Amino acid sequence: MAELEKGQMEKMNRNQRRSDKIRLIPAFLLLLSFITHDSQLFIYKFSLSLAIVALFGIFYLIIGLLYIVGFKYSPHLGSTIPALGAALGIYRFLVIAPNPFSVFNVCLDALVVPFSIIIIKRWSK
């Protein structure tokens, strides 16, 4: 009986996560960030830092899609990976290759992280 209740609670939580429309905000921001990260491959000369930028773009695509399907741990990924990406983006802008993409991407990360933390709190209730 306890297993049945646990299964029903998990299903209810999954449905609740899918119906929580706030998750679409960081999903959209992450998908936009994927586009801006990986479009740099066509604009700038290839380098190691650009490869890392493109890799983060792929991470953002995956996390954005996980948000859309309501994956339980997408807010955790959405708060840690973009926080790391923002730190690396600031470093890249200040030390390696200052460009407008770095500023815009850090701004997107600065929006995704707090939304993700809010969603973690909402989904843990």
pLDDT (0 to 100) of residue 45: 95
User: Could you read off the pLDDT of 75-121 as tens digits, one per residue?
Assistant: 999 999 999 999 999 999 999 989 999 999 999 999 999 999 999 99
Contact 20, 119 (CB under 8 A): yes
Neighbours of 24 (CB within 10 A): 12
pLDDT (0 to 100) of residue 7: 54
Distances from the Cα of 91 to the Cαs of 36, 81, 102, in angstroms? 18, 15, 9
pTM of the model: 0.86
Enumerate the domain spans of the chain. Answer: 22-123
Burial of 5 (0-12, 13-18, 19+ CB in 10 A): exposed
User: Could you read off the pLDDT of 11-25 as tens digits, one per residue?
Assistant: 547 677 767 889 999
